[in-house]
Amino acid sequence: MSMQEDNKCRLDKWLWAARFFKTRSLATDAIDGGKVHVDGDRAKPAKEVRVGQRIYIRRKELEMEVEVMALSNQRRGAPEAALLYQETPESARKREDAAVTREADHGKRERGAGRPTKRQLRDIKRFTGGSW
C-alpha cells in the first residue's frame, strides 16, 4: 500500500483517491460548486490536503464530514481507500438519522400496483372530499 504520510496531495486528487467521486473532474466540479469544505472554509481543487484536516462533503443525499488519516495520489480498491479517512461520529449519526427520516417520508406502496382504477379513484375522492 503506497499511502504517503508527509507528501503533498491536492484536494481533488485526494477526494478521487478516497473514492468520494468517480473522476477527478467530478471532484473539481463539486469543489468549485461549494460542495466541499476544508476545516469549515471553501477550498480550491489545488488546495493541499494534510493529515488531520476535516473535510465536509455534500453530494446528492450524502452529507459527510471526514477526518484525513492518510494521503494518496493513487486510486486503489475500496478497502484501501477507506483507510484514507475516518468519518466523524456526529456525521455518522446525522447520516443514519437522515436515512430513517427519508424512509419515513415516502408512503409505502405495493410495487407494480400501477395507476389507481376508476373505482379506486372514486373511493379516494369520497375519502378525501376532493372535487377534482
Domains of the chain, first to last: 1-90 (3.10.290.10)
pTM of the model as a whole: 0.73
Average pLDDT over residues 94-116: 75
Nearest to 45 by CA among 56, 33, 31, 57: 31
Is 56 within 8 Å of 83 (Cβ atoms)?
A: no
| Strands 41-42 and 85-87, bridge-based pairing | unpaired
Q: How confident is the model at residue 18 (pLDDT cuts 50, 70, 90)?
A: very high
Q: What is the mean pLDDT of the chain?
A: 87
Section 91-110 average pLDDT:
76
pLDDT of 6 reads 52
Q: What's the confidence (pLDDT) of residue 1?
A: 46
